Amino acid sequence: MSERTLARLSRWPLRRQLVAGIVMLLVVATVVIGVVTVAVQRHTVLDRVDDQLETVLEAQRSAVEDEAQEIPRMRARSVVVIEADGVEEVAELTDESGVVSPLSDAERHQLLDGAGREPYAETVQLSDHGSYRVTSAALDGGGQVVVGQSLSEVDQTIRDMTLSFTVVGLLGVTLAALGGRWIIRLGLRPLERLARTASQVSQTPLAEGTVSMPSRVQDQDTSPGTEVGQVGAALNRMLDHVEDAIGRRQSSEDQLRRFIADAGHELRTPLAAISAHAQLMERRRTEMPEELGHSSQRIRSESQRMGLLVEDLLLLARLDSGVPLAEEPVELARILVDVSADAQLTAPGHQWHIDLPEGAADLTVRGDAARLHQVVSNLVNNAKDHTPEGTSVILRLRADRADAVEVTVEDDGPGIPEELQPRIFDRFVRGDGARSRGDAEAGQGNTGLGMAICAAIVHAHRGTIRCESRPGRTRFVIRLPAAPHSAGPAASARG
């Protein structure tokens, strides 16, 4: 069997493989038993015919040699040829009804030719009369006696036997295949139940959030006495371990989230106080030596930066804990227009474009407007912070079929470093230049949380965000489920 056939067979369901295997073995066994039985039977019958022929031959021979004896009559379906000195030649065939007829010369020669040769008894095919078992003896006074018995009855018996064997064999194989199929189906049922449980487990998202494990393998399939039972029991033990591990993971994540939220809240007040005092000092900068003035300005900018960081961490902790966001209709075109207008003011060195389709006002999603504004604003800030002046940035809104809305922020800047791209949505991931390039002095150093926050907000809106970047083209695409009445316009207008 070729490797390809084997590979194709191995893809069959186990049930079919087993039934096919059983049927194949049964067919081989039946054929072997049939062939051997028929061969043995034929041999036995031929032995009996040979014995009878021996007796007949002996009788013929002694009658020919002893002239006083009359040559005995031959039995039905037999031939006799006698050729001896001083005796009239005989070459006759007796048919099934006892009628004696002479043999043709050719047949006579055919029978005499074989006489005296080994094997002693042999099967001869007489052209007009079928096959004959023939034996011969040399006469003492010279000459030959040949006697033969038709094998038509023996052949008929063997044919009948072969036919009955084939019919019974086929019937047996069919019944065995049906029975085997039923037994195998019954035997595989526990395995199917096991597979169902395993497939439920495989579909359970285990990586994050609150995980509820599917029910265990039923008791009937966990008996240690059966192979399936052993697998079932092992699967249950594994599920217990996994559930235990996930429970621990969840509780330690909850603890961490609570800690971050608590620490964030606690830090907010002293940070606000530091910032306020620093602002106060800054206002009286002229009264201080220049060095102190610079320090007070650094204290203010750094405390503002820390304030932003704390706000980001608090937001992430809140999103992680699954606190539901607002569920209001949000007009995405408005957000894009506002963010783009802000960007034009804060980064006039870049070229800002906005590409909205006709009827963009109808493209709404359900969610939290402030958070979605934050997502677009983070993307625009990146296009501003991580690209040189003169870079062209385009904000685009599209309906993607009837059920989704796509927001794209694309720039023709230097691109995101390749090694950063797979982790771009992870927390605290930022490029080498980000910390210094952001105007840390002015309190705008980068934290590397921007994209992580975008991803968390988009996921909380049941949407997706993806990033494609190469030098000269960086594109962030956000896809959000459209609000039910949101229409899909076609044409677009560039602003």
Ligand X SMILES: Nc1ncnc2c1ncn2[C@@H]1O[C@H](COP(=O)(O)OP(=O)(O)OP(=O)(O)O)[C@@H](O)[C@H]1O
* Binding partner selected for residue 383 from Mg ion, ligand X, none, CB under the kind-specific 5 to 8 Å limit: ligand X
Question: Which residue among 350, 366, 386, 396 contacts ligand X (CB under 6 A)?
Answer: 386
Question: Which residue among 149, 296, 304, 447 contacts ligand X (CB under 6 A)?
Answer: 447
Position 443 contacts ligand X (CB under 6 A)? no
Number of C-alpha atoms within 13 angstroms, CB side, residue 207?
1
Question: Which residue among 110, 222, 340, 382 contacts ligand X (CB under 6 A)?
Answer: 382
Q: Which is nearer to Mg ion, 229 or 450 (CB)?
A: 450
* Binding partner selected for residue 357 from Mg ion, ligand X, none, CB under the kind-specific 5 to 8 Å limit: none
Pairing of strands 392-400, 404-411: antiparallel
Q: Which is nearer to ligand X, 340 or 378 (CB)?
A: 378
* Binding partner selected for residue 430 from Mg ion, ligand X, none, CB under the kind-specific 5 to 8 Å limit: ligand X
Question: Which residue among 60, 197, 387, 486 contacts ligand X (CB under 6 A)?
Answer: 387
Q: Which is nearer to Mg ion, 146 or 336 (CB)?
A: 336
Position 420 contacts ligand X (CB under 6 A)? yes
x/- contact string, 423-462, with Mg ion (CB under 5 A)?
A: ---------------------------x------------
* Binding partner selected for residue 479 from ligand X, Mg ion, none, CB under the kind-specific 5 to 8 Å limit: none
Residue 157, amino acid: T
Q: Which is nearer to ligand X, 198 or 308 (CB)?
A: 308
Under 8 Å CB-to-CB from 463, ≥6 apart: which residues? 365, 478, 479, 480, 481
Q: Which is nearer to Mg ion, 445 or 450 (CB)?
A: 450
Q: Which stretch binds ligand X (CB under 6 A): 160-168, 216-224, 291-299, 379-387?
A: 379-387
Residue with tokens 């295949």: 177
Position 434 contacts ligand X (CB under 6 A)? yes
Minimum distance of ligand X from residue 302's CB (angstroms):
14
* Binding partner selected for residue 133 from Mg ion, ligand X, none, CB under the kind-specific 5 to 8 Å limit: none
Position 407 contacts ligand X (CB under 6 A)? no
Q: Which is nearer to Mg ion, 450 or 463 (CB)?
A: 450
Pairing of strands 100-102, 351-357: unpaired
Minimum distance of ligand X from residue 311's CB (angstroms):
11
Q: Which two three-digit tokens encode residue 310? A: 């704390």
Minimum distance of Mg ion from residue 281's CB (angstroms):
30
Which backbone phi and psi does 80 adopt, to 5 degrees? -145, 140
Q: Which is nearer to ligand X, 78 or 447 (CB)?
A: 447
Residue with tokens 């043995």: 40
Question: Which residue among 430, 443, 456, 478 contacts ligand X (CB under 6 A)?
Answer: 430
Encode burial over 289-312: b for 16+ CB neighbours within 10 A, e otherwise: eeeebeebbebbbbbbbbbbbbeb
Q: Which is nearer to ligand X, 304 or 387 (CB)?
A: 387
Distance in angstroms (rounded) separating the CA atoms of residues 167 and 164: 5
Distance in angstroms (rounded) separating the CA atoms of residues 42 and 135: 18
Number of residue whose CB is nearest Mg ion: 450
In the sheet that 90-94 helps form, which strands lie side by side, from edge to edge?
Answer: 100-102, 90-94, 78-84, 143-150, 130-138, 122-126
Minimum distance of ligand X from residue 434's CB (angstroms):
3
Cβ atoms 386, 437 nearer than 8 A: yes
Position 382 contacts Mg ion (CB under 5 A)? yes
Minimum distance of ligand X from residue 409's CB (angstroms):
8
Q: Please state, in angstroms and as integers, the Cα–Cα distance from residue 12 to each residue in 5, 6, 20, 179, 225, following that order.
A: 11, 10, 10, 20, 28
Nearest in space to 308 (alpha carbons), one of 347, 368, 338, 268: 268
Q: Please state, in angstroms and as integers, the Cα–Cα distance from residue 266 to each residue in 48, 157, 261, 297, 305, following that order.
A: 112, 104, 9, 24, 16
Length of the chain: 495
Site for ligand X in 32-51 (CB under 6 A): none
Minimum distance of ligand X from residue 310's CB (angstroms):
13
Minimum distance of Mg ion from residue 224's CB (angstroms):
57
Q: Which two three-digit tokens encode residue 405? A: 């809305």
Position 297 contacts Mg ion (CB under 5 A)? no
Position 450 contacts ligand X (CB under 6 A)? yes
Tell me how crowded residue 318 is: count the other CB atoms within 10 A of its CB.
Answer: 17
Minimum distance of ligand X from residue 236's CB (angstroms):
43
Position 446 contacts ligand X (CB under 6 A)? yes
Nearest in space to 483 (alpha carbons), one of 376, 367, 345, 374: 367
Q: Which is nearer to ligand X, 90 or 434 (CB)?
A: 434
Position 380 contacts ligand X (CB under 6 A)? no
Cβ atoms 423, 397 nearer than 8 A: no
Position 448 contacts ligand X (CB under 6 A)? yes
Nearest in space to 127 (alpha carbons), one of 105, 146, 96, 158: 105
Cβ atoms 63, 70 nearer than 8 A: yes
Position 474 contacts ligand X (CB under 6 A)? yes
Helix or strand (DSSP H, E) at 74: none
Q: Which two three-digit tokens encode residue 280? A: 């106060």
Q: Which stretch binds ligand X (CB under 6 A): 59-67, 125-133, 288-296, 442-450?
A: 442-450
Binding site for Mg ion (CB under 5 A): 382, 450
Binding site for ligand X (CB under 6 A): 378, 382-383, 385-387, 411, 413, 415-416, 420, 424, 429-431, 434, 446-451, 474
